[in-house]
Structure 1
Amino acid sequence: MAKANITVIGSMNVDHFMITDRLPDRGECFIANSYRKALGGKGGNVAIAIHRGCHRRPTDGSDTAAGFYGDELDISVRLIGAVGNDDAGSLYKKTLEDNGLDTSGVRMVDGVPTGTCFAIIEEDSRDNRLLGVLGANLTFSADSFARVEDLGTGVPPDLVVAQLEINMEAIEQMLVTAGKAEIDVLMNPSPANHILLELYRFITHFVVNETEAAIYSGLDVGEVQESNWHDIAKAFLAEGVKNVVITLGAAGAFYANERSSGHVPAFTVIPKDVTGAGDTFTGAYASEYVRQKRMQEDWDIEKAVIRACKASALTVCTLGAQEGIPWANEIDGFTVNSDAITTVEAGMSIQEGLTV
């Protein structure tokens, strides 16, 4: 069977974490407990999550072992993104290459910095505050995705995954180009930005959190409740979206398409950092969709959502957006012990990451 291909289009940032006893008040300054730096950005996070979600953790020091679940399918992940022609950009690109990703779509741009995000994380509650500068991520334009060839490496990808941390006109053109070529698209519209109604028909998978679901539905954030999950999803389906998933944090996720709908409860964990949980969910869901597609299985959206919930539960157990993203064998070795705390198969670690 030929190798499957997934293209991720999105941002690449370097994340800076300050861990504190509490979040500072306006105008207040105090000393943080610790500081860490790691690679992030929604594009980079999702690309790592997809790659790990369909490969086993390497045990011999090599980049990665090919194969999804049990060598039944190899999936190549290509990231299209931009970093500055600076030390941070060079490190980011090299780290992705060392982890087995295709970086032929990553451009290094002169004169602008690599995107940067600063996060303050409260030690006990794990509540956070984020502030970022997009830098090189904003250098894409509509012309960047005017041709089908711009989405792949000579052959159309099985799936394009995108978020909204790059210029909106570039995303809109990508949707048109992919849609006309009948290429599946997974859209995770974060941060929420206006999407033209006529473009929804080009979206195969629409993965939103509660805040995004509210914004795109014209609701207040607190108005997204169990009683209207189905109505919200149904409205997106009516606009032409094929599959809708609403991630609900500690409540799990709701899914719907023309054949089925349902709710998958979350798996209980003791979180250290929720940054990147949504990106991990998107990545695990995307890899499972392509696996089912290539293996010519009937599309089981519930199975993909369950696997994505497992992956996102595992990733919040480690500090850093990319550090705790689990590999396929760790997701598949997922169990819940008698105390309802998520664990992984004995001998597997979820501590290895991409700390800078």
Structure 2
Amino acid sequence: MKKIIVIGSSNMDMVVKTSHLPAPGETILGGEFFMNQGGKGANQAVAVERLGGNLIFMAKLGNDILGQQSIEYFKKEGIDTRYIALDENSASGVALISVDDHAENSIVVASGANMLLDEQDVDKVVEEMCEGDILLMQLEIPLQTVEYAARKAFEKGVKVVLNPAPARNLPKALLRYLYMITPNRIEAEMLTGIKITNDVDAEDVAKEINAMGVQNVIVTLGSKGCLIRENGASYRVDAFKVEPVDTTAAGDTFNGALCVALAEGMELKQAAVMASKASSIAVTRMGAQSSIPRREEL
């Protein structure tokens, strides 16, 4: 099976359930608190592993109690930790998450060691890359590292998939290396400057990103499913109807599942349906990696 190489962040999520998200200056009494493995890179890696992908995961943690816990957790998940480095001089990444009664969340990330993942680290995994493999990345590590990894992968014939989250402006050079980009509505609006209020807007956004040099575009639209543009044509894939509890890691589950399906040779539309199914299960559960389903659940 084609390898799926995930390069990205790993955090410890500290989650509080609340009736509503606090306004600036407001203190509210929350409910349940729990800690959960998170970080967009690690979420996507766990999704790939649980859904049956041939995973290689690269990340950087602090050599602290949270980093050590993460390493043990990844081993229990069956994830190879060869490319997960522990930095002696930096703390592990932490995310502070509030989740309200409507399953909306508010997240603040202290990146820590994630921002030390650099080009020299990437060089260690480049030798694993073969033509036809998939490289999946996000934007919770340095943008320079993302661009370098994308270029190296592109040169080796690897399909580069970028989940451009958290939202930020991207260099044009990076876009040309991408096989696919998977922004949500906010990220797509930032990339193009086009406000999405209806299906036509979503298609215009996908066309605009396509014109920037990205081969395939999937704009994820939450409960409204996703809009896909490939081979000059656009179409929709509906979301599965569920009662959401927590949307944390829904997008990461979607991206991990999408790459597993593509690595197995599925057509893009079929892959998006599988990804939608996986993310629909994830939103019915609390937490990030704790919410990600296994293949038999699909």
TM (norm. structure 1) is 0.80
Aligned pairs for 1:83-162 within 5 A: 83-122=61-100, 124-145=101-122, 147=123, 150-153=125-128, 158-162=133-137
Task: Letter of the 2:27 partner, please give it.
Answer: C
The residue number in structure 2 matching 1:42 is: 40
1:306-349 Cα distance to aligned partner (Å, 9 max, x none): 11111100001110011111111111xxxxxxxxxxxxxxxxxx
Instruction: Judge conservation of contact 2:130–2:158 (CA < 8 Å) in 1.
Output: no
CA RMSD, Structure 1 to Structure 2 (Å)? 1.7
The residue number in structure 2 matching 1:26 is: 24
TM (norm. structure 2) is 0.95
Partner of 1:119, secondary structure, is strand
CA distance in 1, matches of 2:141, 2:192: 22
CA 95–152 in structure 1, closer or farther in 2 if over 3 Å, else same: farther
1:140-192 Cα distance to aligned partner (Å, 9 max, x none): 223433x4x53354756711100010011111111111112221111101112
The residue number in structure 1 matching 2:210 is: 237
CA distance in 2, matches of 1:155, 1:181: 6
CA 21–194 in structure 1, closer or farther in 2 if over 3 Å, else same: closer
* Identity fraction in percent: 30
CA distance in 2, matches of 1:181, 1:217: 29
The residue number in structure 2 matching 1:328 is: 295
The residue number in structure 2 matching 1:266 is: 239
Indicate which of 284, 291, 295 corresponds to 1:317: 284
Q: CA deviation at 1:5?
A: 1.4
The answer for unaligned runs of 5 or more in structure 2 is none
The residue number in structure 1 matching 2:14 is: 16
CA distance in 2, matches of 1:272, 1:227: 29
The residue number in structure 2 matching 1:199 is: 174
CA 152–323 in structure 1, closer or farther in 2 if over 3 Å, else same: farther
1:279-321 Cα distance to aligned partner (Å, 9 max, x none): 00001101000000xxxxxx51110111111110000111001
CA distance in 2, matches of 1:152, 1:127: 41
The answer for unaligned runs of 5 or more in structure 1 is 55-74, 293-298, 332-356
| Rg larger for | 1
Aligned pairs for 1:191-230 within 5 A: 191-220=166-195, 223-230=196-203
The residue number in structure 2 matching 1:255 is: 228
CA distance in 1, matches of 2:132, 2:80: 13
The residue number in structure 1 matching 2:59 is: 81
Q: CA deviation at 1:9?
A: 0.5
The residue number in structure 1 matching 2:149 is: 174
CA 91–152 in structure 1, closer or farther in 2 if over 3 Å, else same: farther
CA distance in 1, matches of 2:248, 2:44: 12
1:213-242 Cα distance to aligned partner (Å, 9 max, x none): 10001234xx35211222221222222212
CA 258–39 in structure 1, closer or farther in 2 if over 3 Å, else same: same
CA distance in 2, matches of 1:313, 1:329: 14
Moved more, 255-264 or 38-47: 255-264
CA 95–175 in structure 1, closer or farther in 2 if over 3 Å, else same: same
Q: What is the number of equivalent residue pairs in this alignment?
A: 298
CA 252–187 in structure 1, closer or farther in 2 if over 3 Å, else same: same
Moved more, 36-45 or 176-185: 176-185
Instruction: Judge conservation of contact 2:131–2:157 (CA < 8 Å) in 1.
Output: no
Q: CA deviation at 1:98?
A: 1.0
CA distance in 2, matches of 1:166, 1:198: 18
CA distance in 1, matches of 2:197, 2:88: 43
